[in-house]
Amino acid sequence: MSERGVDDRAVLRGFEPSDIPTGVTHYRGKVREVLTRGDEMVIVATDRVSAFDRVLGVVPRKGEVLNRISEFWFRATADVCANHYRRVLTPRSMLVTPCRVYPVEVVVRGYLTGSAWREYAAGRPVSGVTVPPGMRENQEFSGAIITPSTKENDGDHDRPISCADIVATGIVPADDWAAIERSALALFARGQEIARANGLILVDTKYEFGHDGERIVVVDEMHTPDSSRFWYASTYAERFAAGERPDELDKEYLRRTLMECGYTGDGEPPEIPMTVVSELSAKYVAAFETITREKLSDSGLDAEAEKKRILSYVNEGS
């Protein structure tokens, strides 16, 4: 993605190995970075943006939006399931409890859409779930379903797996998996309830669960535009009846813009104009405000200062 015009003070691109103090473990995902020292873990949502499984550039305010949306949901669901959230450290970072994470993406779906629709349309079950015949694209299921994937290492695409196979192959012990299924459905129900009150449909999402030594804990991010799909509730029924695509709270915007330029994930991505970057940034801020019903004020902290604060925290704690 072209980044001409992006103000470097406004974006946090990530940490370099040379930034990391000794004694601190550094993990770099596509979008987030994790710094761990002892029983302290900091998850940093950078401003990197990915589509088609690739990092394509940076979008101002994206990291802060994602961090603050996760914070909102961890607080709003803490009574439903224990989570790893301790507190927000800086606008883009969160202090969490480190856990032993099960390598499963626990996908919960309320509607038949996206990859589930594509599997169904091709006559295949979705992660072992047989979807009833005669359903239409974007139709609501009679009850939410769980369609897990295994979490694969760098570069490999996640692989769909049935709930039965997760237990049969020993990826998760049976009693823990039963608890995870119950928690995932309960979290999703709470998410849908709150989203609905704010005019949105929580369509589907992905959770990760871990063990903190005592109990099952929901970790990673929660109900963010990067891990979830949201539609606007007010137009859903009418558009579904007319066979039109639901109005979505955009994550698809970048993907669609790239596809309009003829890019579908292979080769060098095209240059994205600064207007698109600005548009994306505004969309992330709007997403925060719609989901949480709060205003996102400017943190006033430049990215370098924020990195310093995070590093000094993991270095000495405070």
Ligand X SMILES: Nc1ncnc2c1ncn2[C@@H]1O[C@H](COP(=O)(O)OP(=O)(O)OP(=O)(O)O)[C@@H](O)[C@H]1O
51 lies in the site for ligand X, by CB under 6 A: no
182 lies in the site for ligand X, by CB under 6 A: no
HSE-CB at 144 with a 13 A cutoff on CA atoms is 25
List the x/- string, 215-254, binding to ligand X by CB under 6 A. Answer: ----xx----------------------------------
Q: Which is nearer to ligand X, 66 or 277 (CB)?
A: 66
Q: Which is nearer to ligand X, 31 or 145 (CB)?
A: 31
Q: State the residue for tokens 């992660």.
A: 127
20 lies in the site for ligand X, by CB under 6 A: no
List the x/- string, 28-47, binding to ligand X by CB under 6 A. Answer: -xxxx-x------x------
Q: Of the ranges 14-22, 26-34, 58-66, 176-184, which one interacts with ligand X (CB under 6 A)?
A: 26-34
List the x/- string, 82-101, binding to ligand X by CB under 6 A. Answer: --x-----------xxxx-x
Cβ neighbours of residue 143 closer than 8 Å, sequence gap 6 or more: none
Contact, 18 vs 27, CB < 8 A? no
116 lies in the site for ligand X, by CB under 6 A: no
Q: What is the DSSP letter of 296?
A: -
In whole angstroms, the minimum distance from the beta carbon of 66 to ligand X comes to: 10
Residues counted in the chain: 318
Q: Which long-range contacts (CB under 8 A, 24 or more apart) does 204-207 make?
A: 204/107, 204/108, 204/109, 204/110, 204/111, 204/113, 204/114, 204/116, 204/228, 204/229, 205/107, 205/108, 205/229, 206/105, 206/106, 206/107, 206/108, 207/105, 207/106, 207/108
User: Where along the sequence are the contacts to ligand X (CB under 6 A)?
Assistant: 29-32, 34, 41, 84, 96-99, 101, 208, 210, 219-220
